[in-house]
Chain A
């Protein structure tokens, strides 16, 4: 049995705007085991990025508020941690890499300074050792001639190199958890493949646990051990990678899988889009948030939110179709492939 390193329990996060309260995260539960990679997938606005930023406590307050819930990291509840404690944890215990490496690197500091910053602050290294460690980190992430690259500025790096540098910064202090928020979305496919490979190799070497936030199921299939599917601020399905891809239970997961063309999909087959758009989280529906877009919606779906129910010990789904009284519905073939 693997041990949990991070656990999110019943997390609720809201943003206060003059129009009212946007309930971005409305009760999210998941955990991360040591050394594994989980992927949080969902469309934009489903609350996946807010969840990850809340773990780092990077949500600006105001307008963001943690309404309830716990984030347990090695026995401490991060929702109650002071700013001082968080400063110790950020960058050394939990690090984050972002989608856009250009805006998340400081353009006025050299790459070296930015890697060394964390080392000097958290690991109390002196300048010389920090520099050596920084060179080692750049070499580790595959940047050629790291000694000279160290003194260059972000704009002298290409997009892929910047993302590598970001990873070097994030991993410099050997964090236990790495949160990667859409790390490959802004990159071209060939560069994306480089970065995914790098992340896999680094995880093998360092044993870091990774939370990958993405909307790209192709990347998920490549790197994740477990998958958490979020919709409208809630977890609708979670399970092992194979369970989600080969035995998906939630119609939304079906939709996500079915709307992506596979290279083997013939031109005569229609894609299976999810009609409509996600609900407005200013005033979320009382029932299942997906009901309005769901082809199999039943009366109860519009009235009551289903709870997360266990399909197997590792696979959970929140859908009324799982109820014994519900009619049996087969997932469309476009979602689970021809086989």
Chain B
């Protein structure tokens, strides 16, 4: 099957959605499908062979955080050309509500289209302003997929219609055999995510770590993810600072190895998470998980049976939970074993099989994806521009 996938966010900026798309594309390719991904990208040279440059991303605030999106006439032209030349059996658009390449692809194509909604949008302001536009884009989509119950609710509540639930996947084989990245002097507590993104909750963990370190002096806090550590750790006293190791942004393989080296992985997020893929990654790498009790996290952790939960934003509770867990080897072993079982259901090979079923049910007896030129002023402009570009 020839599958075209549209990624709304910058490929070379680590993020949940682009990681999902990379895993999806690579798993489908391993299964023998022909896959092309169009994506915003800062540095086109960093793209893998199956990905196509969709233009430079621009940083704009969107849905409560800074997103790197690509839009405009030029991007539309690129998406159109990709659709025209791709001859896809099915087009898979991710995050169709984000004002990026996904919406452009919806406007520019006709034929079998599948869309996956990742984030839960709590404030419907975005949707009210863009309601008509969102509707016209969504109306062309033959099948909606939600990665979580949360994301599904967004669709049901704000857009009408329903979605098929296909959970996010983890490439379990990439994680389970990862050798530990480093030996730590004592128990290592890990954090993964943008350090300067408030919703990832690092300040809560830093506060708890002060208390943990008072009880367990050789504990190390390992920070993985992008962001300026000097800025984030400016308020942290020097004595505590010596117990914090900043690994920064790691590639996929090192991330797996870093997770495998942890005594406990902490996800102190305060909101905006619709799924919690990092939790699954930590479980696949064999790290016991402590997470804030957001709905999405509680669901992934099977209501606390596969990891410890603490009230969102409560650093005292987090401190107590981590100290308890570090002193209880048996409980940690139990959580690791439960996590390994849990994560099998989210293995990408299973998830990709479900996706193929969805593709097959929208493509049965259909023609391929084609360019849609009806009634589109922006599209006509873009077409003229590409025509000019071609002539030069």
Whether chains A and B associate is: no
